[in-house]
Structure 1
Amino acid sequence: MSFAWQDVLLGEYPGVNDGWIDVISSQRSSLLSVDLSGSTVTDKGLRLLKDSSNLQSLTLDYCDQFSEHGLKYVSGLLNLTFLSIRKSSTVTPDGMRAFSSLVNLEKLDLERCSEIHGGFVHLKGLKKLESLNIACCKCIMDSDMQAISGLQKLTTLNAEGCKITSACLESIAALAALESLNLNRCCLSDDEFENISSLKTLKRLSLAFNRITDACLVHLKGLVNLEYLNLDSCKIGDEGLANLIGLTLLRSLVLSDTEVGSSGLRHISGLHKLEDLNLSFTSVNDASLKRLSGLTNLKSLNLDARQITDVGLANLTSKLFLVYIHCLSGLIKLDLFGARISDAGTVFLKSFKNLQFLEICGGGLTDGGVKHIKEMTSLTQLNLSQNCNLTDKTLELLSGMTALRSLNVSNSRITNEGLRYLKPLKNLRTLSLESCKVTAAEIKKLQSSDLPNLISFRPE
């Protein structure tokens, strides 16, 4: 009895070479999907695939044994809709000539390909292309963007880490169907940003780690369909946030490591659909947190900043702000990593009934504060590292939190003696007790006898 294979997924499987391709290619027209990531396939192997005329998906990530000449055999796979060749120095501008015949291609992934500058001219005819990933291709320049400006069905462009400047924004603006645009870590300034305002269909925009200021945000006013905006580490301040007032569909806003301070929060207080707000390493203070009372859909809040203290938590849960209690009822993730939270502040955490993820690593907790945390039985991930005064008593207090899957109490006074309190945590998958008086041997004993799901632990 013979079997017809449709999908052959061998990504990262050891030892895959041209000999394997000889067997795979025998399926000919029945083959629909092939993943050879990490294999040693050569030009010979690619030639063996040329008769797989119905192939729709081909993945060659991390393959570096074929050459630009081998890619010519891909050019005959006219039914391909998905092609991925990540992190390959063998894809050259001349080799990309093979892509020009793939007129049915919808998704092309060339992430971390280091030699593709100048080859985009061969993508001009791919009129069905919807997604292009060229992240971390440091060879990419403004002229490459100009070459693809006619791809009118392109909805997703990831150019993170490319050496493109604001001069290419006019070319990007010609991609009228764009819904997702990632320009993180490029060389952008405020120049030419008025072109972005024409991309009315944008839902996701990432501009992190660029030299843009409040002047850039003026041109985002009209992007009323935005649901995700990332401004991490940009020179954005309080007044610039006034330009976001009309972006009422925003669900995620990243303002980490910006110059945003307390007065800026008034401009985002009306973004009622926000689910994820990142204010880490900003100048937002305790008092300003009251301004977030209208964010009734908030699920994730990052307040990793040293100026946030117990007072800030009190403001989030005070009976004087009943609206905000409702606001936080859906909070699932709270990051207070570097905030200065003490035992007194942990009493306010009990208001977050649905919290699953909590980080408090500012060094101010003792076992007394953990008494309040233990009541948060919905927690699945808990990080209390860097609180050097925690002892074995902390593990005893946490022993009833059976939903925990990840626990980090590194840099504390916990010892091997305290490990016995972890026995009831049958769902625990990761455990970190680095820089404690705990040995890997004792953790392994606990793993084998009582924690069958523990797959990662430190020290190891």
Structure 2
Amino acid sequence: LYYAEQIGDGALVAMREWKQLRHLNLRGTKVTDAGLAQLAGLPIESLDLGFSLFTDNGFDHLVNLPKLKSLAVGGNKITDTGIHALRMLPDLLELDLSGMQRTDSGMWGATITDKGIETLDSLTKLESLKVHGGKFTDAGFVKLTRLKNLRTLDIGDTQLSAKGLAALGNFGGLDTLSLTDAKRIGDDAIPVLSALKTLRWLDVSGTAITPEGIKSLKAANPSCQILSGEETTRKSP
């Protein structure tokens, strides 16, 4: 149902009888918080509500999905208030809060501050976390100390600096890291990033890391694929 804009709450009424439903993609639809009540008790493991009409009020319905492991709700009008309810979903493995929705009436996305990011530390089973564009600071991010299972992390387009990246050492086996457009990340972050020996993919495009810094990163972790934005520049005529 991906970006099927004609799909709204009425379609969810029929889904109440889909007792074997495991994966549901409602991204870009007109589904609202109220409609989610129809999904209560279904064995849904993966749910994408990104860029829909989901708000903070919708989180109350998600606790009625006992099998939920993967959730995407980016590009919606959600705040720390809604994020707080995620503590009721301790078995989440994947969480995507990224993206901005643009419509004729305006633009919005998840507004995650330090209070919200700290709440996520309770989701200790998380393997993938995407909070691109979050409004949290170094002070909030460094309080993430319990996400030991995290493998994929997107903290691009945030206000994090090298000081905040110190928290990355808490994530034992980080494999994929995106810092795209995190403007405050510069060469002073090289020591922290170089210490992440499990990294296999790193995107620092749009950061303040210099070409010399990129060389240092590659020397520290030769097996890691590092994207810096220079790849596109070289290919341009």
TM exceeding 0.5: yes
User: Cα offset for 1:364?
Assistant: 2.9
Q: Is the 8 A contact 2:92 2:123 kept in 1?
A: no
Counterpart for residue 11 of structure 2: 144
User: Cα offset for 1:382?
Assistant: 1.5
Q: Is the 8 A contact 1:300 1:334 kept in 2?
A: yes
Q: Is the 8 A contact 1:166 1:189 kept in 2?
A: yes
- The DSSP-based 3-state class of the residue aligned with 1:268 is helix
Cα separation, 2, equivalents of 1:142 and 1:330: 40
User: Cα offset for 1:332?
Assistant: 1.6
The 5 A counterparts of 1:163-202 are: 163-173=30-40, 176-190=42-56, 194-202=60-68
User: Cα offset for 1:182?
Assistant: 2.4
User: Cα offset for 1:293?
Assistant: 2.8
Counterpart for residue 187 of structure 2: 343
Q: Is the 8 A contact 1:329 1:353 kept in 2?
A: no
Counterpart for residue 333 of structure 1: 176
1:262 equivalent to 2:114? Answer yes
The 5 A counterparts of 1:286-435 are: 286-305=138-157, 307-313=159-165, 315-316=166-167, 325=169, 327-339=170-182, 340-362=184-206, 364-373=208-217, 374-379=219-224, 381-385=225-229, 409=230, 432-434=231-233
Cα separation, 2, equivalents of 1:214 and 1:308: 18
> CA 1:303/1:192 → structure 2, altered by over 3 Å: closer, same or farther?
closer
User: Cα offset for 1:184?
Assistant: 2.3
1:274 equivalent to 2:136? Answer no
The 5 A counterparts of 1:86-165 are: 134-165=1-32
Cα separation, 2, equivalents of 1:143 and 1:433: 45
Q: Is the 8 A contact 2:80 2:112 kept in 1?
A: no
Cα separation, 2, equivalents of 1:148 and 1:349: 45
Cα separation, 1, equivalents of 2:47 and 2:145: 30
User: Cα offset for 1:362?
Assistant: 3.7
Counterpart for residue 106 of structure 2: none
> CA 1:192/1:276 → structure 2, altered by over 3 Å: closer, same or farther?
closer
**What is the aligned length?**
227
Cα separation, 2, equivalents of 1:191 and 1:312: 31
Q: Is the 8 A contact 2:124 2:147 kept in 1?
A: yes
User: Cα offset for 1:357?
Assistant: 1.2
Cα separation, 2, equivalents of 1:370 and 1:195: 45
Cα separation, 1, equivalents of 2:158 and 2:62: 35
> CA 1:271/1:383 → structure 2, altered by over 3 Å: closer, same or farther?
same
Counterpart for residue 73 of structure 2: 207
> CA 1:344/1:140 → structure 2, altered by over 3 Å: closer, same or farther?
closer
Q: Is the 8 A contact 2:203 2:226 kept in 1?
A: yes
Counterpart for residue 99 of structure 1: none
Superimposed CA distance per residue, residues 93-141 of structure 1 (whole angstroms, 9 cap, x where no aligned partner):
xxxxxxxxxxxxxxxxxxxxxxxxxxxxxxxxxxxxxxxxx22222223
Q: Is the 8 A contact 2:176 2:200 kept in 1?
A: yes
User: Cα offset for 1:195?
Assistant: 4.1
User: Cα offset for 1:306?
Assistant: 5.1
User: Cα offset for 1:194?
Assistant: 4.1
User: Structure 1 length normalisation: TM-score?
Assistant: 0.43
Over the residues paired in the alignment, what is the CA RMSD in angstroms? 3.1
Q: Which runs of 5+ in 1 are unaligned?
A: 1-133, 235-256, 317-323, 386-408, 410-431, 437-457
> CA 1:269/1:371 → structure 2, altered by over 3 Å: closer, same or farther?
same
Which of structures 1 and 2 has the bigger CA Rg? 1
Counterpart for residue 94 of structure 2: 228
Cα separation, 2, equivalents of 1:300 and 1:366: 24
Q: Is the 8 A contact 1:200 1:224 kept in 2?
A: no
Q: Report the residue type matching 1:331 in the other structure.
A: L
Superimposed CA distance per residue, residues 260-284 of structure 1 (whole angstroms, 9 cap, x where no aligned partner):
2234333233433222222322222
Cα separation, 1, equivalents of 2:99 and 2:181: 18
User: Cα offset for 1:193?
Assistant: 5.7
Identity %: 29
User: Cα offset for 1:351?
Assistant: 0.7
Cα separation, 1, equivalents of 2:119 and 2:148: 16
Superimposed CA distance per residue, residues 45-66 of structure 1 (whole angstroms, 9 cap, x where no aligned partner):
xxxxxxxxxxxxxxxxxxxxxx
> CA 1:364/1:138 → structure 2, altered by over 3 Å: closer, same or farther?
closer
Cα separation, 1, equivalents of 2:111 and 2:214: 33
Q: Which runs of 5+ in 2 are unaligned?
A: 101-108
